[in-house]
């Protein structure tokens, strides 16, 4: 399946690296398009129209405000359209690309190392197109999570799209706390990040049972329990809720 990327920014690049297929690339910045295409073993093309004609699936990675402009250039040439555009629902995509199967994904940056999360909302004609092939291809970049309804995109983005930055802040905070007690800053950060990665892997193997992990690690009356109580008393849950609320409110 030939992929064509319209746009070669950070998220497009991360996703393309995770998928790992040679791709056609078009971007307003020709140097950026050449760089990404070269990295992927693909080809930079001179126009969106040419890209659409030569692609089995066109992946929209441009700015959301360019939807109508790009659709006009691609009109009648796209066979299937995948969008990773923010704030652009499937109804808007289908209006721009009538009679074309549309697939909406919201990926995150860890897709670059094939550890991403990709929320997925299919368009009305998705099953008429190469949906299975697209899901297999994009699944290389991480876990695909279909959403029951499109309005759930906003809270989902707060967790998985913004989440890497939130997790990075948590890692910094714990590493700084460890360094304050004498650990070398780089050692403290490595310990924290590897512990986060290991905990994520453990949770996957144990059906995402966070409560069971706490019970297993925290001996009653022990040091871990004392730390957990402190986190609860200091309002960790409320802080996390406020961060998610702030993101959701900003996107609506």
- 189-234, pLDDT tens digit by residue? 999 999 999 999 999 999 999 999 999 999 999 999 999 999 999 9
- The parent domain of residue 244 ranges over 163-251
165/106 Cα distance (integer angstroms): 16
Q: Are residues 186 and 228 both part of a single domain?
A: yes
Q: Are residues 174 and 122 both part of a single domain?
A: no
Question: Per the domain annotation, does 158 fall within a domain?
Answer: no
Strand, helix or coil at 209?
coil
Q: Are residues 39 and 99 both part of a single domain?
A: yes
Flag whether the pTM goes above 0.85: yes
Strand 3-6 with 57-60, pairing: parallel
What kind and span of H or E run contains 233? helix 223-233
The percent of residues in the chain predicted with pLDDT above 70, rounded, is 100
Domain count, the chain: 2
pLDDT band of residue 157 (cuts 50, 70, 90) is very high
């Amino acid at each position: 399946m030939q992929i064509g990327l319209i746009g070669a920014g950070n998220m497009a690049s991360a996703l393309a690296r995770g998928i790992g297929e040679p791709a056609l690339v078009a971007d307003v910045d020709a140097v950026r398009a050449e760089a990404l295409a070269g990295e992927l073993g693909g080809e930079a093309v001179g126009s969106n129209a040419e890209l659409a004609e030569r692609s089995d699936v066109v992946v929209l990675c441009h700015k959301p405000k360019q939807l109508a402009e790009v659709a006009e250039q691609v009109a009648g040439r796209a066979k299937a359209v995948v969008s990773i555009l923010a704030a652009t629902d499937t109804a808007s995509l289908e209006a721009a690309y009538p009679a074309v199967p549309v697939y909406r994904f919201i990926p995150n940056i860890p897709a670059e190392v094939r550890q991403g999360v990709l929320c997925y909302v299919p368009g009305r004609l998705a099953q008429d197109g190469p949906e299975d092939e697209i899901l297999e291809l994009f699944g290389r970049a991480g876990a695909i999570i279909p959403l029951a309804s499109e309005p759930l995109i906003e809270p989902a983005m707060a967790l998985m799209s913004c989440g890497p930055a939130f997790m990075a802040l948590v890692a910094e905070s714990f590493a700084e706390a460890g360094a304050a007690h004498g650990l070398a800053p780089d050692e403290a950060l490595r310990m924290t990040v590897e512990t986060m990665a290991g905990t994520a892997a453990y949770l996957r193997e144990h059906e995402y049972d966070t409560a069971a992990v706490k019970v297993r690690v925290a001996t009653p009356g022990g040091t871990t329990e004392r730390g957990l109580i402190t986190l609860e008393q200091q309002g960790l849950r409320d802080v996390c809720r406020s961060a998610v609320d702030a993101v959701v409110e900003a996107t609506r």
